[in-house]
Amino acid sequence: MSTAHPSLNQTVEGLYGAHHSWLTGWLRRRLGCPHSAADLAQDTFVKVLLARETPKLIEPRAFLTTVARRVLCNHFRRQELERAYLQALAELPEALAPSEEDRAIILETLVELDQLLDGLPSLAKRAFLLAQVDGLTHGEIAARLKISVATVKRHLTKAAMRCYFAL
Tens of pLDDT, residues 74-83: 899 888 888 8
% of the chain residues with pLDDT over 90: 45
**What is the reported pLDDT for 107?**
87
Amino acid identity at 99: S
Domain boundaries, the chain: 1-96
pLDDT confidence bin for 167, thresholds 50/70/90? low
Q: Per-residue pLDDT tens for 111-148?
A: 888 888 888 888 998 899 889 888 899 999 999 999 99
pLDDT at 94: 82
Distance CA 23, CA 61 (A): 8
The radius of gyration of the chain's CA atoms, rounded to the nearest angstrom, is 20
Instruction: Identify whether the C-beta of residue 140 lies closer than 8 Å to the C-beta of residue 126.
Output: no
Q: pLDDT digit string (tens) for 2-59?
A: 444 445 455 788 889 999 999 999 999 999 999 999 999 999 999 988 887 766 778 8
